[in-house]
Amino acid sequence: MSEHDQHSSFIKTPQQLIVVLVAAFLVPIVGIILLVQLVVGRPGADPNALTPESVAARIQPIGKVEFGAPAAAPGARSGEEIVKAVCATCHQAGVANAPKLGDKAAWAPPIKQGLDAMVKNAITGIKAMPPRGGDASLTDTEVARAVAFMANQAGGKFKEPAGAKPAAAASAEKPAATARAKPAAADGKAVYDKVCFACHAQSVAGSPKLGDKAAWAPRIQTGTDAMVATVIKGKGAMPPKAGNPSLSDAEIRAAVEFMAGQSK
């Protein structure tokens, strides 16, 4: 009898059986509910954490190392800098009979006239060349530096004018000495006015004149991308990037779109 008591169930009454069954049913459900709340209640990931701006901010380096000196301010640019940025547009390829860089035979007659005469022509403009090579931000001194640099590359022996003048002296130069800001990448007209008009305003060397629908029609049919690629690579008398290597692809595209738009 005592051995039977040791193995008897703890459930003695029907009420106890009901309680055990209910508990067996409810306990798992409560556990599942608590587990779900635990998972759902955890802090979620920031929805903005994977945006390009957030990613860039997290991987941005602590510091940057930049090489090279900043571009010289207007009035302090060297002759070589000006030639590369402005004069090479025509003088690199000899556009409109402009004496090519390094061509001693072509430069000999101007060199005989002397530096002052050449500088005067460059400032006022001569034949197809607009005043100051088309860049009104050039000061008289900068024009003289550029002329001396080009002449010396073709056998001249001129002394390039010294560095920038004091502020008081620089302000006394002609109104064109006032510096212009570099045209915005998307400002096609500004790029045209500074670079492209030197040839396209007068159809120099067979370039399509601005507004000439017949001349521009075949080019426009090739599409903007093709025209931009042609300018970047250069074609015929037009050197790569219209002779101005400082132009970005975006500036070239803006100028092409402006000129094409004026000729549709």
Convert 193-227 into a string of H (helix), E (strand) and C (coil). HHHHHHHHCCCHHHCCCCCCHHHHHHHHHHCHHHH
pTM over 0.75, yes/no: no
Q: Does 221 lie in the same domain as 170? A: no
What pLDDT is attached to residue 194? Answer: 77
* Domain final residue pick, 177, 196, 220: 177
* Domain final residue pick, 158, 177, 196: 177
What pLDDT is attached to residue 6? Answer: 52
Domain count, the chain: 2
What pLDDT is attached to residue 69? Answer: 47
DSSP string, 29-66: HHHHHHHHHHHHTSPPPPTTTTSHHHHHHHH--S----
In a domain, 58, yes or no: no
Q: Which domain CATH number covers 235? A: 1.10.760.10
Please list the pLDDT of the chain residue by residue as tens digits (264 residues): 445 455 566 677 878 778 778 878 888 888 888 887 776 666 555 666 656 666 566 655 555 544 444 556 667 889 999 888 888 878 887 877 889 989 999 999 999 999 999 999 988 888 878 788 878 788 999 999 999 999 999 999 999 888 644 443 444 444 443 334 444 445 888 888 877 877 887 777 778 888 888 888 888 898 889 988 988 888 877 778 877 777 888 888 988 898 888 887
What pLDDT is attached to residue 170? Answer: 42
Range of the domain at 105: 79-177
What pLDDT is attached to residue 38? Answer: 76
* Domain final residue pick, 145, 177, 209: 177
What pLDDT is attached to residue 260? Answer: 87
What pLDDT is attached to residue 178? Answer: 39
Among the listed residues 76, 158, 80, the one whose alpha carbon sits nearest the alpha carbon of residue 117: 158
In a domain, 203, yes or no: yes
What pLDDT is attached to residue 107? Answer: 93
Q: Does 172 lie in the same domain as 84? A: yes
Q: Does 194 lie in the same domain as 116? A: no
What pLDDT is attached to residue 141? Answer: 92
Q: Does 133 lie in the same domain as 112? A: yes
Q: Does 173 lie in the same domain as 192? A: no
Q: Does 136 lie in the same domain as 86? A: yes
What pLDDT is attached to residue 264? Answer: 75
In a domain, 10, yes or no: no
In a domain, 55, yes or no: no
